[in-house]
Amino acid sequence: MSALKFVRSVWESFRTTSGVEPRLIDAMRITAAEPGKVNFELPIEKQHTNRLGILHGATLATMVDTSGSLALASRGLYSTGVSTDLNVTYLNAGGKIGDLIKGEVICDKFGKTLAYTSVKFMNSKDEIVARGSHTKFVALAWKDERNITEDLKPAVNESQASEATRTSFGGNKHVVGE
């Protein structure tokens, strides 16, 4: 199974079984995936904004959490563990209703106990909006029989992938089809 197809199946599981994701970021779309990296986007709607009418930081924090899990899914984990740490740094306004926020998440380290991801967000002006990091406890997730970790190994190790596999948002050089 391709990384894109597997990540989309895990995302669908989040959407059908979780309480938060279907209420806040149900419209998020996975646009590309390869082992260790996922690209996604969210059309900004009213429920994503604050009282100033711009993208709410809580929406971005939710997307850091969820996309971190999807980065682990891109490495073949179906059950993606539990969060131990999450950080978001807000740099620019994310946009207003009708704008599109784009994200790219990388699996920086994929261990037997902990996994680390980093994400960046771009607004419709191609300005970096925020960056985030997410640490997950994954020891129990390795036991899920739905995992396909042997099928979704990256071409390079994490220390090389963190920078080597990042692409600009202007051109999807590494888009992987279904």
Question: 19-56 pLDDT, tens per residue?
Answer: 888 788 899 999 999 999 999 999 999 999 999 999 99
Task: Confirm whether 157 is domain-assigned.
Answer: no
* Domain contains 60: yes
Domain count, the chain: 1
Look-up of token digits 């809580």: 58
How many alpha carbons fall within 13 Å on the CB side of residue 6? 30
User: How far apart are alpha carbons 155 and 34 in whole angstroms?
Assistant: 10
Q: Could you tell me if residue 93 is left (phi over 0), alpha (psi between -120 and 50 degrees) or otherwise beta?
A: beta
| Residue 30 bridge partners (DSSP) | 40
At 60, list the tokens: 């971005």
Range of the domain at 109: 3-143
Classify residue 167: in a domain, yes or no: no
Residue 154 within any structural domain of the chain = no
- Give a yes or no: residue 117 inside a domain: yes
Q: What global pTM score does this model have?
A: 0.85
Quick check: is 81 in a domain? yes
The residue whose two tokens read 């607004």 is 123
Q: Find the helix packing angle between 3-17 and 57-73, rounded to 10°.
A: 130
What is residue 33's predicted lDDT score, i.e. its pLDDT? 97
Residue 162 lies in a domain: no
Residue 46 is part of a domain; what is its CATH number? 3.10.129.10
Examine residue 158 and state whether it is found in any structural domain, yes or no. no
Q: 21 or 101: whose pLDDT is higher? A: 101
pLDDT in tens, 125-168: 899 999 999 999 999 999 999 998 888 888 766 555 555 445 44
